[in-house]
């Protein structure tokens, strides 16, 4: 019996890339590969890349440079680049790093086994098409191995919004939704393997249209699966938060009271230049409706500071929006140019001003996050435990609000991964809460 080949995957970026890496590993598993934790042990190295962050492509080239020695020692080692940088850079990757054997875009990774086979005689393989077929249907079924209690599940890909700062429409393509019944089949399989919480993923997930009644309808149908206790979704666009989805937040018990709803800026001028197609007042009105449906809803957001032509007054509008909404968590970044996007051609804000604004914005967000965490002390929450903590007998899980919660189990009551238990919060730390069990 031949020895299995070894595959090392390094994943950059968002949860969708984490999901994609899992599926690529499964696809290559059907070709006799098993995953390993170190590139030194690998017969194939695959970088699953993201193009969102600053200097994303250069970071990939730097990472590839680290593997030159390995390639020299092991000439049969295969090196591949997948994901959004692969889609954007394509031939340039092959030109700058001739040791790369294959390049595959995020919509073509179901072809990975075929591309790998092409490289066995020293040939190069590249596929950055946007194929018409559903890549998920071409992947082998997930093996029936036991899973942890939480899982990601991609339901939608691509984006039609064309925000002025974003490369996603160019690297992931137009919005495409997976059929609801295929998602239901995959969700049931995950639950059979031990998953109790599923996060639905999409570049613009609330634009999902694979169900007759959109994302809300999919969530309600998923809620009928016995053993699936929690549902979340990310990432959303304010313009696609429809009435049915707002109602679902108040009516669907399995839909958790946590929503990531990026706004990016609090200035109407900057929102228009970003091509966000909504105003700050429209965003406020949407938040008001969501909190009317679910009063305990915790909000998360994305913010870009130093967008081209942003003034101090524009930035203060963003701080004011944050003060009014009160976010439980958020992601914030300095604007950085993405070649080919409209914003890259506009007058840029000096880097020192970007740095100053980012520090001020993050200080406000950190204060809000801590205030909301502190307000949890004394409350009872439901915690889905995922892993052991650093202390003896300690377990760590997530509350319905996505707070990390640490609990030390009583001597007579061990906690297992996958347990969903009631906890009373007793203290709040910088990035987590601590509590005691009060029942199942």
What's the rounded Cα separation, in Å, for the pair 428 and 228?
29
What's the rounded Cα separation, in Å, for the pair 13 and 375?
31
SS (H, E, C) 340-389: CCHHHHCCCCCHHHHHHHHHHHHHHHHHHHHHHHHCCCCCEEEEEEEEEC
Per the annotation, binding residues are: 14, 50, 84, 159, 163, 166
Q: Is 105 helix (H, G, I), strand (E, B) or coil?
A: coil
What's the rounded Cα separation, in Å, for the pair 306 and 341?
16
SS (H, E, C) 121-144: HCCCEEECCCCCCCHHHHCCCCCC
Contact 147, 193 (CB under 8 A): yes
Structure tokens at 264: 């990016």
Per the annotation, binding residues for [4Fe-4S] cluster are: 14, 50, 84, 159, 163, 166
What's the rounded Cα separation, in Å, for the pair 422 and 150?
18
Question: 28, exposed or middle or buried, with CB in 10 Å at 0-12, 13-18, 19+?
Answer: buried
Question: What number of other Cβ atoms are within 10 A of residue 61's Cβ?
Answer: 16
């Amino acid at each position: 019996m031949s020895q299995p080949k070894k595959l090392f995957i390094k994943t950059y970026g968002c949860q969708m890339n984490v999901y994609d890496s899992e599926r690529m590993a499964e696809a290559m598993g059907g070709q006799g590969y098993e995953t390993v934790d170190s590139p030194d042990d690998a017969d194939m190295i695959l970088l699953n890349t993201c193009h969102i962050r600053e200097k994303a492509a250069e970071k990939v080239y730097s990472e590839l440079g680290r593997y030159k020695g390995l390639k020299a020692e092991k000439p049969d080692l295969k090196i591949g680049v997948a994901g959004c940088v692969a889609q954007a850079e394509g031939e340039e990757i092959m030109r700058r790093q001739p040791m790369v054997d294959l390049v595959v875009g995020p919509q073509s990774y179901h072809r990975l086994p075929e591309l790998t086979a092409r490289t066995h005689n020293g040939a190069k393989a590249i596929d950055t098409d946007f194929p018409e077929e559903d890549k998920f249907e071409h992947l082998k079924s997930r093996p029936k191995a036991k899973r942890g209690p939480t899982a990601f599940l991609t339901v939608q890909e691509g984006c039609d919004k064309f925000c002025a700062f974003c490369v996603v429409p160019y690297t992931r393509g137009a919005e495409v939704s997976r059929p609801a019944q295929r998602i239901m089949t995959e969700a049931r399989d995950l639950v059979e393997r031990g998953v109790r919480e599923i996060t639905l993923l999409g570049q613009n997930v609330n634009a999902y249209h694979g169900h007759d009644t959109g994302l809300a309808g999919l969530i309600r149908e998923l809620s009928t699966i016995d053993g699936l206790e929690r549902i979340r979704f990310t990432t959303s666009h304010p313009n696609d938060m429809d009435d049915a989805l707002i109602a679902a937040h108040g009516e669907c018990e399995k839909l958790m009271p946590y929503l990531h709803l990026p706004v990016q800026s609090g200035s109407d001028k900057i929102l228009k230049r970003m091509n966000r197609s909504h105003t700050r007042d429209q965003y406020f009105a949407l938040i008001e409706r969501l909190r009317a449906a679910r009063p305990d809803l915790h909000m998360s957001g994305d913010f870009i500071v130093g967008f081209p032509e942003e003034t101090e007054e524009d930035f203060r509008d963003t701080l004011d929006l944050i003060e009014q909404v009160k976010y439980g968590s958020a992601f914030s970044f300095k604007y950085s140019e993405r070649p080919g996007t409209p914003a890259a051609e506009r007058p840029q804000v000096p880097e020192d001003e970007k740095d100053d604004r980012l520090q001020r914005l993050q200080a406000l967000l950190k204060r809000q996050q801590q205030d909301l965490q502190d307000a949890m002390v004394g409350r009872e929450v439901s915690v889905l435990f995922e892993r052991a903590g650093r202390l003896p007998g300690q377990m760590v899980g997530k509350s319905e609000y996505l707070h990390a919660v640490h609990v030390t189990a009583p001597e007579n009551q061990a906690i297992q991964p996958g347990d969903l238990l009631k906890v009373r919060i007793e203290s709040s730390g910088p990035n987590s809460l601590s509590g005691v069990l009060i029942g199942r």
